[in-house]
Amino acid sequence: MPMNNNDHDDFIKTIFSKKPEKEKYMKIKLDPPPPNLNITIYEFEQILQIFTDGLHYKFSNNGNKINLDNLNIEDIDLMEKYMNSLSYQFYIDRFTSPSNYVEKLPNYLEDKEKYTDKDKIKLKDVYFQIATFHDKNKTNIKCIYRISFDNID
């Protein structure tokens, strides 16, 4: 049975309102993916949503957007511990300028319609990228972040 918004919010609050539990404290059981969506890409999207909502729960100021540039290493380490408690390893690559950026292909999330369950995709190969900017017009990139996860066996 799919989780409704109240259940999801309660789940986020339960996990992120206290100190992180030990590694592999919990294993998330996901609902089946929508038809024609690769199960690994679906798992990544669900874990990314939990991670994003956890970031907002822990670090948002009155529901405002989170600026990854404002997170320090302790904040990142804390989020990693939360993800570890859910049986996921968390990775974040930070490219401090567009000239340092290294493209990673294929971008499964960007082209997710192309992939079915016949495509054997590893969770660690799926990623989400987001850029931060020096200006409000979003013309001058400050950093590019690449976020990925893997299962902890």
pLDDT tens for 78-94 read 999 999 999 999 999 99
> Whole-prediction pTM value?
0.89
Most confidently modeled range among 1-15, 16-30, 128-142:
16-30
**Burial classification of residue 86, based on how many CB atoms lie within 10 Å of its CB (0-12 exposed, 13-18 middle, 19 or more buried):** buried
The residue written with tokens 């495509």 in the block is 119
Determine phi and psi for 29, rounding to 5 degrees: -105, 115
E strands in 52-95: 88-95
pLDDT value of residue 20:
97
pLDDT value of residue 58:
94
In the chain, where the domains are located: 5-151
Amino acid at 84: N
The two three-digit tokens of residue 128, written as one number:
């989400």
- What are the contacts of 57-62 at 24+ separation with CB within 8 A? 57/12, 57/13, 57/16, 57/17, 58/16
Q: Is the pLDDT of residue 1 over 60?
A: no
pLDDT value of residue 137:
86
